[in-house]
């Protein structure tokens, strides 16, 4: 495999000009204790056995707990991969013109920034936010998205709805921004009945000490009854205390002796599995960030909520990731590691997911952030993709009787029969022979009794297919999307 040489120093030129290091197989580097407020530079060169490929110089600034937001700068428009620069910005008030935010590190075009901070508000009243940007912007306040203008082509000042904030409470603010080309501008103002419109004052921001970006998102409905809760760690946490319950006040006021206290998770494990939850129930949860060496700890989290749906989720495609395995190792949780398609075969024309990350579909979705993109090629073959079930396998649980799934096709697709099979043999076909050409999200509901011969108390696999099962013919190709495969009770 590749060998790496890491250079690390306190100034840009030293790292840029460094040479002669000995490559090894390490993919981590521990620089030892760092100085608060100081900026460091580093570079990773790759040696492929024949030549050394010199890496870009990256940098980060060690944050201090006083004032500012964390700015994470990326060398692309999509906040993809690792940030090339992480620093504390005192506020969001930048007019870069045709220049770069950091000339040695970031180009003047095609970059993006995610700012994460927290701040208290002085008044209990509605606040309106005004991102003034060139080009795209998204804004979350208190973990709710209030601006979504990623495709903004030119300089523009957006205005959010007013959101009610409470004096003395701390709120998370997350702004994502990208510069396309030409000039670059990023400012964030606010206004309330008692606050004249102004750039949000710099000193009032503090770095993200509290947990943020909850998943499921705050207020989400129709959440699966076996969710995994996750969040973004506060900057100084070495562990997280998780509280969960159905009484909002009890969760808000809970301590480690309360029944709502569920678990302590180590830094690096920002997730909690609550097991099976009740149907159609609103849950409240809170994550406190703990640093045993800091007298200000713990940083008490906001109370977040979500509501479970009245259904079982077979797959909503939300939990697949883009983590490639080490060479020679099997993949674990990419969409095509779970939905087994025809890749590498000559008889099965199904291809699941994108060739490059993000592997699951993130643009054409029915709900949530991801769906399944499914390309079929029925030229002399049929297409099938199969998921082996872990949960739910008992398709009689809670009295469910119906399978529902959502799909969308395209008028340019060749018409093919679409089917769902359980345990590989019990097949149900969609009635519409041109189903692949439907170009709006459409629900397909199948009564479970139609899956003849299947033990519904122990279902092992579900297969989505195109063409007539076991009868390849001279078909064509197409692109379909699937989302929200669920089991419902009778109405």
415 and 474 Cβ atoms separated by less than 8 Å: no
Measured CA to CA, the distance from residue 118 to residue 296 in angstroms comes to 15
Tell me which stretch binds Ca ion (CB under 5 A): 4-12, 252-260, 449-457, 475-483: 475-483
Tell me which stretch binds Ca ion (CB under 5 A): 64-72, 306-314, 343-351, 477-485: 477-485
Tell me which stretch binds Ca ion (CB under 5 A): 13-21, 64-72, 100-108, 451-459: 100-108
Measured CA to CA, the distance from residue 288 to residue 210 in angstroms comes to 7
**Closest by CA position to 179, among listed 76, 94, 71, 72:** 76
Interaction of residue 368 with Ca ion, rule CB under 5 A: yes
Q: Is 380 helix (H, G, I), strand (E, B) or coil?
A: coil
Question: In 10 A of CB 466, how many CB atoms?
Answer: 31
Hey, which residues does 61 pair with through a beta bridge?
39
**Closest by CA position to 264, among listed 245, 240, 289, 244:** 240
Q: Is 288 helix (H, G, I), strand (E, B) or coil?
A: strand
**Closest by CA position to 114, among listed 136, 97, 142, 98:** 136
Interaction of residue 394 with Ca ion, rule CB under 5 A: no
Angle at 7 between CA 31 and CA 269, to 5 degrees: 45
According to CB under 5 A, which one of 3, 9, 108, 149 is a site residue for Ca ion? Answer: 108
Interaction of residue 248 with Ca ion, rule CB under 5 A: no
Minimum distance from residue 204 beta carbon to Ca ion (Å): 28
Tokens of 227: 């969710």
Tell me which stretch binds Ca ion (CB under 5 A): 61-69, 104-112, 198-206, 270-278: 104-112
Nearer to Ca ion, 108 or 250 (CB): 108
Measured CA to CA, the distance from residue 434 to residue 418 in angstroms comes to 9
Strands 125-134 and 184-192: antiparallel
Interaction of residue 133 with Ca ion, rule CB under 5 A: no
Interaction of residue 364 with Ca ion, rule CB under 5 A: no
According to CB under 5 A, which one of 60, 73, 131, 134 is a site residue for Ca ion? Answer: 134
Q: How many residues bind Ca ion (CB under 5 A)?
A: 10
Interaction of residue 97 with Ca ion, rule CB under 5 A: no
Nearer to Ca ion, 288 or 483 (CB): 483
Measured CA to CA, the distance from residue 56 to residue 200 in angstroms comes to 34
Tokens of 83: 């940030």
Tokens of 213: 């970006």
Q: Is 40 helix (H, G, I), strand (E, B) or coil?
A: strand
Interaction of residue 483 with Ca ion, rule CB under 5 A: yes
Tell me which stretch binds Ca ion (CB under 5 A): 25-33, 102-110, 267-275, 419-427: 102-110
Letter string b/e over residues 417-453, b meaning 16 or more CB atoms within 10 A of that residue's CB: bbbbbbbeebbbbbeeeebbbbeebeebeeebeebee
Bond into 17 cis (ω within 30)? no
Nearer to Ca ion, 184 or 254 (CB): 184
Measured CA to CA, the distance from residue 212 to residue 102 in angstroms comes to 27
Tell me which stretch binds Ca ion (CB under 5 A): 180-188, 253-261, 282-290, 407-415: 180-188
Tell me which stretch binds Ca ion (CB under 5 A): 105-113, 141-149, 355-363, 429-437: 105-113
Nearer to Ca ion, 188 or 209 (CB): 188
Minimum distance from residue 203 beta carbon to Ca ion (Å): 29
Interaction of residue 353 with Ca ion, rule CB under 5 A: no
Question: In 10 A of CB 191, how many CB atoms?
Answer: 16
User: Rounded to whole angstroms, what are the CA distances from 116 to 67, 190, 234, 235, 250?
Assistant: 12, 16, 10, 10, 28
Interface with Ca ion in residues 16-55 (CB under 5 A): none
According to CB under 5 A, which one of 109, 110, 220, 322 is a site residue for Ca ion? Answer: 109
According to CB under 5 A, which one of 126, 182, 259, 412 is a site residue for Ca ion? Answer: 182
Tell me which stretch binds Ca ion (CB under 5 A): 284-292, 360-368, 380-388, 405-413: 360-368
Nearer to Ca ion, 153 or 453 (CB): 153
Minimum distance from residue 289 beta carbon to Ca ion (Å): 29
464 and 363 Cβ atoms separated by less than 8 Å: no
Interaction of residue 60 with Ca ion, rule CB under 5 A: no
Nearer to Ca ion, 302 or 371 (CB): 371
Contact string (CB under 5 A) for Ca ion, positions 309-328, x = contact: -------xx-----------
Interaction of residue 341 with Ca ion, rule CB under 5 A: no
Interaction of residue 222 with Ca ion, rule CB under 5 A: no
Minimum distance from residue 426 beta carbon to Ca ion (Å): 25
* Contact set with Ca ion (CB under 5 A): 108-109, 134-135, 182, 184, 316-317, 368, 483
């Amino acid at each position: 495999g590749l060998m790496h040489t890491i250079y690390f120093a306190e100034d840009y030129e030293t790292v840029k000009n460094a040479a002669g290091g000995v490559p090894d197989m390490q993919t981590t580097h521990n620089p030892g204790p760092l100085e608060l407020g100081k900026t460091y530079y580093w570079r990773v060169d790759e040696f492929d056995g024949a030549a050394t490929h010199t890496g870009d110089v990256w940098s980060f600034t060690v944050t201090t707990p006083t004032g500012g937001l964390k700015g994470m700068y990326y060398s692309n428009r999509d906040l993809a991969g690792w940030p090339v620069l992480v620093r504390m910005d005192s506020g969001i008030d930048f007019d870069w013109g045709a220049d770069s935010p950091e000339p040695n590190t970031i180009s003047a075009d095609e970059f993006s920034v995610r700012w994460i901070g927290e701040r208290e508000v002085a008044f209990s009243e509605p606040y309106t936010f005004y991102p003034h940007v060139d080009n795209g912007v998204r804004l979350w306040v208190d973990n709710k998205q209030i601006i979504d203008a990623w495709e903004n082509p030119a300089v523009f000042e957006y205005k959010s709805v007013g959101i009610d904030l409470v004096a003395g409470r701390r709120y998370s603010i997350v702004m994502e921004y990208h510069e396309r080309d030409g000039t670059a501008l990023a400012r964030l103002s606010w206004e309330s009945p008692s606050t004249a419109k102004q750039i949000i004052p710099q000193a009032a921001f503090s770095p993200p000490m509290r947990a943020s970006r909850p998943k499921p998102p705050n207020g989400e409905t129709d959440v699966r009854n076996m969710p995994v809760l996750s969040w973004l760690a506060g900057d100084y946490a070495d562990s997280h205390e998780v509280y969960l319950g159905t009484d909002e006040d009890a969760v808000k006021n809970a301590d480690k002796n309360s029944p709502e206290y569920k678990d302590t998770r180590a830094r690096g494990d920002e997730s909690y599995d609550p097991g099976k939850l009740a149907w159609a129930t609103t849950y409240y949860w809170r994550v406190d960030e703990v640093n045993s060496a800091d007298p200000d700890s713990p940083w008490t989290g906001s109370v977040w909520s979500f509501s479970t749906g009245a259904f079982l989720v077979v797959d909503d495609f939300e939990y697949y990731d883009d983590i490639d395995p080490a060479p020679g190792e099997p993949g674990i949780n990419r969409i095509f590691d779970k939905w087994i398609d025809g890749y590498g075969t000559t008889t099965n024309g199904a291809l699941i997911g994108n060739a490059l990350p993000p592997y699951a579909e993130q643009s054409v979705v029915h709900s949530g952030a991801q769906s399944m993109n499914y390309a079929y090629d029925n030229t002399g073959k049929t297409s099938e993709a199969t998921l082996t079930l872990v949960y739910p396998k008992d398709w009689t649980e809670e009295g469910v009787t119906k399978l529902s799934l959502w799909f969308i096709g395209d008028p340019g697709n060749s018409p093919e029969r679409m089917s769902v099979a359980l345990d590989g043999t019990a097949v149900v076909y969609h009635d519409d022979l041109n189903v692949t050409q439907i170009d709006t999200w459409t629900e397909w509901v199948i009564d479970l009794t139609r899956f003849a011969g299947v033990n519904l108390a122990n279902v092992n696999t579900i297969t989505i297919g195109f063409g007539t099962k076991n009868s390849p013919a001279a078909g064509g190709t197409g692109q379909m999307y699937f989302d929200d495969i669920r089991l419902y009770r009778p109405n």
